[in-house]
């Protein structure tokens, strides 16, 4: 038996101290291997460049966001907005909300005609579809409050890409084809993004000197380089001259908000997710709590799928009824995310029968998202960023504001143009998400962190209304240990399915279900709608804090790149 000698007794407290504190304190040690996963190799390279130059995850996030604004002009940009979920190495968590805001002149019925009918395309195409951009303010905020490098240094790769150009890919072509008509309508957009008014060939180099100049102003002057002075003037004047509502005052008044993320425990894991004006965090909490209440971890095959579908149905229904910008409307967050409320909802899930959505009262269906963008970053110290950024539809509103090179968003379509009328993603909503001046449209963007006993996940994806169901399934996969040794790739790559309350159907990628599972789901009363394409572009980083290993995955559906960097990266 161990009997301490008088000498060792003397050192016992020191020994205990050393023992206690030699347990790895991850927050300080960091993962050693930084990682970046983004939707474009040039954006991942920009993140890498900034990490290698001594920047932290937040500087890298500025670099990746700005690079994506240049090389994915259809996905996000200075003319759009997004949510940057941050966790500092010492454990502080915050969401930087750079979501667009409705201009001061916006009204609830601005997309309806004299008869009160929604004008088709009005909230999607052209300058009047744009909210006041938030991304430039968010980048200045990230660099100023969290970064270690000057904003100008983190923006440098993007400025280079804008000047030197990037090559058109298949994805670019698909999305430009999809938006060809609206791009042709706006001469500045056609000039930059088309070749003689046609979709450019793969490999064509797209240079954006105007955008480079706007980025340089942001780099030199910070926030005011965009929201005041010549850029603001040009943006507002060109927008209004073409029928838009954004004024110089709207730009001057724009401010990012720091919001407390939604955090909840489920099955021994801590999930940190996006609060309103995103609906993502609330819906994730609801879905995962319902799954926990129904023993999802033990269910198998079609019964397991059925539980997830039914949980999605109920969470998307609550989204439609209750969610909106919490700066403007009361969102009953505590109730919606509580264990008890969701246990109640879960109790209404029949183990073998689908509940028709029509039996769930709500405001009164679907196309899918194809753009927007997500990236995940981890630095060597353990700082993390999950960011989902958007200009909404591919190439946003299709309108480039004068000589700013900025593609304006069409995020106003995320509001409810008329209660009960579905938006571009088939989402319905009510008063909570009605248009009001200065209000932020409800979003589905769901940048998310999950902390397990040993592993940490940074995850997110574009995909319109389907973002939430994709992220929920990835988180459920993590929390309930699906996928074995290749878990990360499994969560990112496996075929997807989705239910959003209305339309009342399971939309799914080809190959999502076996014949047997399909038959079992139909037997339960589910309607299956196979899509003719895949969706989403998930970017994820998984850090095993016990072993120090880091894995990163870019969705094979997209053209992105995930890189785990060398431990030598500063
Ligand atoms: O904020 C939202 O929920 C939408 N504007 C996101 C759009 C989107 O993800 C499009 N693409 N895939």
Q: What atom of ligand 1 comes closest to residue 537's alpha carbon?
A: 12
Query: What are the pLDDT digits (tens) for 128-182?
Result: 999 999 999 999 999 999 999 999 999 999 999 999 999 999 999 999 999 999 9
Give the whole-angstrom CA distance, residue 274 versus residue 181: 34
> Which residue, judged by its Cα, is nearest atom 1 of ligand 1?
443
CA dihedral 34, 38, 42, 46 (to 10 degrees): -40
431 or 437, higher pLDDT: 437
Q: Examine the residue annotation and report whether 88 is marked as an active-site residue of this protein.
A: no
Residue 30: what pLDDT? 80
DSSP state of 19: H
443 forms bridges with which residues in the sheet? 278
Nearest to 477 by CA among 263, 264, 269: 269
**pLDDT of 313 strictly over 70:** yes
- 7 pLDDT exceeds 70? no
Q: Rounded to the nearest whole angstrom, what is the distance from the C-alpha of residue 54 to the centroid of ligand 1? A: 32
Q: Which helix (H) or strand (E) holds 528?
A: strand 528-530
Give the C-alpha separation, 504 to 428, whole Å.
Answer: 12
Distance separating alpha carbons of residues 501 and 247, to the nearest angstrom:
37
DSSP secondary structure, 452-513, as one string: -SSEEEEE----TTHHHHHHHHHHHHHHTT-SGGGHHHHHHHS--EE--SSS-SEEE-TTSS
Contacts 24+ apart (CB under 8 A), 346-353: 346/289, 346/290, 346/291, 346/293, 346/294, 346/311, 347/293, 348/314, 349/290, 349/294, 349/307, 349/310, 349/311, 349/314, 351/303, 351/306, 352/303, 352/306, 352/524, 353/524, 353/525
Q: How far is the CA of 207 from the centre of ligand 1 (A)?
A: 26
Cα–Cα distance between 88 and 136 in angstroms, integer?
Answer: 21
Residues 322-353 as b/e (b if ≥16 CB within 10 A, e otherwise) read bbbbbebbebebeebbbeebbeebbeebeeee
Residue nearest to atom 2 of ligand 1 (CA): 443
Q: Which ligand 1 atom is at minimum distance from the Cα of 535?
A: 12
Sign of CA dihedral 433, 438, 444, 448: negative
Ligand 1 center from residue 111 Cα (angstroms) = 19
Q: How far apart are the CA of 82 and the centre of ligand 1, in A?
A: 10
Give the whole-angstrom CA distance, residue 157 versus residue 167.
16
Query: Which residue's CA is the nearest one to ligand 1's atom 9?
Result: 464
**Mean pLDDT estimate for the chain:** 93
Q: Over 80: is that where the pLDDT of 24 sits?
A: no
What is the tens place of the pLDDT at every residue in 324-375?
Answer: 999 999 999 999 999 999 999 999 999 999 999 999 977 543 334 457 999 9
Supply 44's token pair: 């991942």
- DSSP label of 189: H
Q: How far is the centre of ligand 1, averaged over its atoms, from the C-alpha of 61 (Å)?
A: 19
**Which of 277, 368, 445, 538 to probe ligand 1 with, by most ligand atoms within 8 A of CB?**
445
Query: What's the CA gap between 188 and 214, in Å, rounded?
Result: 15
Please give the helix or strand (H or E) that residue 564 lies within, else none.
strand 561-564
Give percent of the chain above pLDDT 90: 88
Residue nearest to atom 5 of ligand 1 (CA): 392
Tell me the CB-side half-sphere exposure of residue 440, using CA atoms within 13 A. Answer: 27
In angstroms, what is the span from residue 75 Cα to ligand 1's centroid? 9
pTM reported for the whole predicted model: 0.93
Q: Which pLDDT score is estimated for 435?
A: 96
Rg of the chain in Å (alpha carbons): 24
**Which residue's C-alpha comes closest to atom 7 of ligand 1?**
464
pLDDT at 311 exceeding the cut of 70 = yes
Atom of ligand 1 nearest to the CA of 467: 9
Centroid of ligand 1 to alpha carbon of 127 (angstroms): 18
Which residue of 280, 392, 536 sits with most ligand 1 atoms within 8 Å of its CB, as the best mutation to test the pocket?
392
Q: Is 147 left (phi over 0), alpha (psi -120 to 50) or beta?
A: beta
Q: Which atom of ligand 1 is nearest to the CA of 413?
A: 5
Identify the sign of the CA torsion 119, 120, 122, 124: positive
Ligand 1 is surrounded, with C-beta below 6 A, by 369-372, 390, 392, 411, 414, 443-445, 462-464, 467
What count of other Cβ atoms lies within 10 Å of the Cβ of residue 66? 30
Looking at 44, 305, 372, 388, which residue is catalytic?
A: 372
DSSP 315: H
21 confidence band (pLDDT: 50, 70, 90) = very low
Ligand 1 pocket: which of 124, 444, 466, 531 to mutate (most atoms within 8 A of CB): 444
**Closest by Cα among 383, 388, 373 to 543:** 383
Q: 23: pLDDT confidence band, cut at 50, 70 and 90?
A: very low
Nearest ligand 1 atom to alpha carbon 462: 9
């Amino acid at each position: 038996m161990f009997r301490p000698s008088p000498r060792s007794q003397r050192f016992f407290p020191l020994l205990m101290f050393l023992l206690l504190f030699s347990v790895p304190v991850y927050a300080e040690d960091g993962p050693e291997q930084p990682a970046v996963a983004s939707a474009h190799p040039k954006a991942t390279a920009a993140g890498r460049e900034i990490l290698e130059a001594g920047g932290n995850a937040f500087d890298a996030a500025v670099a990746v966001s700005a690079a994506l604004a240049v090389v994915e002009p259809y996905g996000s940009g200075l003319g759009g907005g997004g949510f940057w979920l941050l966790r500092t190495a010492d454990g502080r968590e915050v969401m930087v909300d750079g979501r667009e805001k409705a201009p001061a002149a916006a009204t609830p019925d601005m997309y309806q005609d004299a008869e009160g009918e929604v004008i088709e395309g009005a909230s999607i195409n052209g300058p009047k579809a744009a909210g006041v951009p938030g991304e430039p303010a968010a980048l200045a905020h990230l660099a100023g409050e969290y970064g270690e490098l000057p904003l100008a240094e983190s923006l440098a790769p993007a400025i280079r890409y804008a000047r030197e150009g990037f090559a058109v890919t298949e994805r670019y072509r698909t999305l430009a084809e999809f938006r060809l008509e609206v791009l042709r309508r706006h001469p500045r957009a056609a000039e930059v993004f088309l070749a003689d008014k046609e979709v450019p060939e793969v490999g064509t180099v797209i240079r954006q000197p105007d955008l480079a100049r706007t980025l340089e102003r942001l780099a030199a002057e910070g926030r005011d380089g965009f929201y005041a002075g010549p850029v603001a003037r040009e943006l507002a004047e060109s927008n209004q001259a073409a029928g838009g509502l954004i004024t110089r005052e709207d730009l001057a008044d724009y401010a990012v908000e720091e919001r407390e993320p939604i955090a909840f425990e489920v099955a021994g894991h801590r999930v940190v997710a996006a609060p309103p004006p995103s609906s993502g965090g609330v819906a994730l909490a609801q879905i995962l709590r319902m799954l926990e209440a129904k023993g999802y971890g033990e269910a198998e095959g079609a019964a397991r799928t059925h539980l997830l579908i039914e949980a999605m149905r109920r969470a998307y229904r609550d989204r439609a009824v209750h969610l909106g910008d919490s700066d403007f409307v009361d969102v009953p967050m505590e109730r919606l995310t509580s264990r008890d409320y969701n246990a109640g909802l879960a109790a209404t899930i029949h183990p073998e029968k689908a509940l028709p959505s029509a039996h769930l009262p709500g405001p009164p269906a679907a196309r899918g998202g194809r753009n927007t963008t997500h990236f995940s970053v981890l630095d060597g110290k353990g700082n993390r960023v999950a960011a989902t950024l958007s200009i909404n539809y591919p190439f946003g509103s299709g309108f480039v504001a004068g000589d700013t090179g900025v593609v304006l968003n069409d995020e106003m379509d995320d509001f409810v143009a008329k209660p009960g009328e579905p938006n571009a993603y088939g989402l319905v909503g009510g008063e909570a998400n009605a248009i009001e001046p200065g209000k932020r449209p409800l979003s589905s963007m769901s940048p998310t962190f999950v902390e397990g006993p040993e592993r940490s996940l940074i995850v997110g994806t574009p995909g319109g209304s389907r973002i939430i169901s994709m992220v929920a399934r990835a988180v459920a996969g993590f929390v309930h240990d699906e996928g074995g040794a290749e878990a990360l790739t499994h969560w990112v790559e496996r075929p997807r399915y989705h239910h959003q309350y209305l339309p009342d159907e399971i939309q799914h990628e080809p190959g999502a279900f076996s014949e047997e599972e399909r038959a079992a789901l139909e037997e339960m009363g589910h309607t299956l709608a196979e899509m003719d394409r895949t969706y989403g572009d998930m970017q994820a980083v998984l850090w095993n804090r016990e072993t120090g290993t880091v894995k990163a995955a870019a969705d094979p559906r997209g053209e992105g790149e995930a890189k785990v960097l060398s431990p030598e990266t500063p």
